[in-house]
Amino acid sequence: MKKKEKLKPSQRMDKQALAFHKQEPKGKIVVIPSKPVDTDDELSLAYSPGVAAPCREIAEIPDKVYDYTVKGNLVAVISNGSAVLGLGNIGPLAAKPVMEGKGILFKQFAGINVFDIELKTKTIEDFVTVCKALEPTFGGINLEDIAAPDCFEIEKRLEEELSIPVFHDDQHGTAIITAAALLNACHIFNKKLDQISVVFNGAGAAAIACARLIISLGVKQKNVIMCDSKGVIYSGRKENMNIYKQEFAIQTQKRTLEKAVQNTDVFIGLSVRDTLTPDMLKSMNSKPIVFAMANPDPEINPDLAKKTVPDMIIATGRSDYPNQVNNVLGFPSIFRGALDVHATHINEDMKKAAVFALAELAREDVPDSVSRAYQDEVFHFGPNYILPKPFDMRVLTRVAPAVAKAAMESGVAQKPIKNFEKYKLKLASFQGRRRGFIREIINKVKRKNKSRSWDLPRIVFPEGNSKRTLKAINMLYEEKLMCPMLLGDPEEIRQLIQEMELDNMDGVEIINPGQSTQFASYVKTFYEMKQRKGILKKEAAQLMKDPNYFGAMMLELNAVDAVITGATQNYVDSIRPILQIIGTGKRKIASGMNIVLVQDQILFFADTTVNINPSAVDIANIAVHTTRVAYGLNVKPRIAMLSFSNFTGRQENPKKMKEATQLIKKWYPDWVVDGEMQADTAVNPNIVKNIFPFCQIQQGANVLIFPNLDSGNIAYKLVQQLGSGEVLGPFLMGVKKPVNIVQRTGTTEDVANTIVMTCLKVQAYKEFAEKEKNSK
């Protein structure tokens, strides 16, 4: 039997890619309706006769096309396939997979809809004519993979003759990302733009756009040498020249790349593999900056470059090396900002705004969510991290507003943004409801603190040595939401802060419980609380050395406003000191609640963490706590008491849920509550309408109360893992004072979200305390 030949890595990738594209539905994009068309009424609204109404409106006022159609969020990706990256002139048909791929990147990273259009045109005039005819359909045009020098003329003509933004990503996308990388590389090596010397290898569209942009940012044109396949582009050269190369012809005696790179600071390669040799690299100035962006193989292998000159910065176009110059960092967010202000052009000011936004973002702490996308690799600003990662969701919320603002300031925005805070919330929603929801809470907390002149809440973190906790605190520092206090060994924690390079943690108070001046007082108080419950004085002293007990006592004695714990230990061990020292409120039960964001709904699940098999009274009280959280978030609650049956209540659990329903109706007659009912009945109004018209919940429940811990915990974790909704929490309810316990398996972002929700809880506690005081 003939031995099966082992595939090379590139062959294996090709095989996987072909299978990926061929699986049904073929290709990478589909059209999905944005409105339901499930009934005769909906069909008549979507098409004839209803569609005539928006047509008449647009005919009378053309700008209303943005109100009634997708134009404002639709981009054309247009190519003739004459210069496909790494493949050359393969023609429009073969270029289609690339254009479809561009389309999914627009959608994935910025929520922008795309039609890919591949043109079988022969001349510049034909290409321009087709694009001009498409202007009514699209909000913008992204030109792609068009050979130089035609691409320059095509873009210039379209920018002059169209009133929608036109952007040739191969030129300007590459230039923007490269410029951001250059700013940061120079920052790290303390090099100044107006003093560096730069050599380009490659003189195509991308190289020329890069050179123009970095010169506009401060690099002196006299310090830029451009080379092509014939060598240095010098004044008087005749061979293989055009007007675009002529722009960079300089007076020099150097004729080869080897000579050009000597004593220079920066090499930018947009050419072919292995053109920069180790000897050339050694001839550059100290601490050289090399951007070797030829694809798929760079101008010099990064491992070889680092071995040759260890103290250097290198970037490539590849994802398997640090510092990938990836255009996806640019074009989705740039178009997002341009579309949202109805910009007529993407001008130089907007491009520069994108450069600065990307460069500044790379200097910030990197969230865990980014590390998880890259096999938990830890990123810090430095020689191996000069650009944000493509899966850093903050790119959109930084770049798009910067571009939009630049469009407004430069006079090309037809619909200026009035409230950038709201705009950022909208952008966050493109990446999932959770980010937008948390941003709303942050803004709400800040507004109330300001209007009530409240001091920032003091929140103690018993797990001061938790990396996730430290990163979350550092991440929220600039929001000025709280005053954090850490418990643990101060020396150990400060060492950890230094190793993690957390710049915002310098003034954070760190307390060693056993060495605190309050330790003896706390031990005495705890002993007096528990001496008749089996706690000896010696045991009280030992327990109070535990940061969780110490933190709980700080809250009980009003030394702090809240406690957040749980990052390094299981839930039971975390909650025990809380219940022993602080205890539950007047309803005598603590419980856990998760917020679940599904499409345009906010749902509340309880109990998900504490009570294994609560009684009917317990469940009713849990529902009351959860409902009050919903009211606090300005959500009108509709409470469903869940079980495996609908409105019969014969078996143990259904009967219990039915009793709990009756208790809530007795306590709060005005609340919308019903049960027991199955989960699909609770959330699907059609089931209620068709089968249970007597049910009080006609619009779908948003407060879902489970009969036991099994069902509640399983439900929220299934939603979390299967991706059908975004989950926040769990959040602790029913305790006398503000406390939250994070999941040990949670991320830094989860801890940060818990901090934000705890700040909101502290405000609610303060308001309640003020009402109690005023009522006496």
Rounded to 10 degrees, the C-alpha dihedral 82/87/92/94 comes to 170
d(CA 185, CA 311): 12
Rounded Cα–Cα distance for residues 191 and 184 (Å): 10
CA distances (Å), origin 496, targets 300, 469, 545, 618, 746: 37, 12, 21, 43, 20
CA atoms within 13 A on the CB side of 149: 9
Which residue shows structure tokens 């000025």?
480
Q: Is 522 a catalytic residue?
A: no
Q: Give the three-state DSSP class for 684.
A: coil
Task: Let me know the angle formed at the C-alpha of 155 by 197 and 411, rounded to the nearest 5 degrees.
Answer: 85
Read off the amino acid at residue 100: E
Q: Is the peptide bond before 165 cis (omega within 30 degrees of 0)?
A: no
Q: How far apart are CA 750 and CA 734, in angstroms?
A: 21
The whole-angstrom separation of Cα 526 and Cα 552 is 10
Buried/exposed 528-556: b ≥16 CB within 10 Å, e otherwise: ebbeeeebeeeebbebbebbbbbbbbbbb
Q: Are 268 and 158 in contact (CB under 8 A)?
A: no
d(Cα 693, Cα 645) in Å, to the nearest integer? Answer: 16
The values of phi and psi at residue 339, to 5°, are -65, -40
Side-chain half-sphere of 525: how many Cα atoms within 13 Å?
A: 17
Query: What SS3 string covers 306-332?
Result: HHHCCCCEEEECCCCCCCECCHHHCHH
C-alpha pair distances (Å), 567 with each of 183, 377, 571, 580: 37, 20, 9, 20
Closest CA to 603 of 691, 655, 679, 664: 679
Q: Do residues 395 and 361 touch, judged by C-beta distance below 8 A?
A: yes
Tokens of 668: 């709060």
189, 381 Cβ separation under 8 angstroms? no
Given 6, 22, 35, 47, the catalytic residue:
47
| Catalytic-role residue among 8, 28, 96, 102 | 102
Type of residue at 394: R
Angstrom distances, CA of residue 636 to CA of 607, 627, 657: 19, 9, 21
| Distances 51 to 32, 42, 503 between C-alpha atoms, Å | 18, 11, 56
Respond yes or no: is residue 307 known to be catalytic.
Answer: no
d(CA 706, CA 604): 11
CA–CA dist 621, 617 (Å, integer): 6
d(CA 674, CA 695) in angstroms, rounded, equals 7
Whole-Å CA distances, 66 to 46, 71, 136, 339, 340: 17, 6, 11, 10, 10
| Residues with active-site annotation | 47, 102
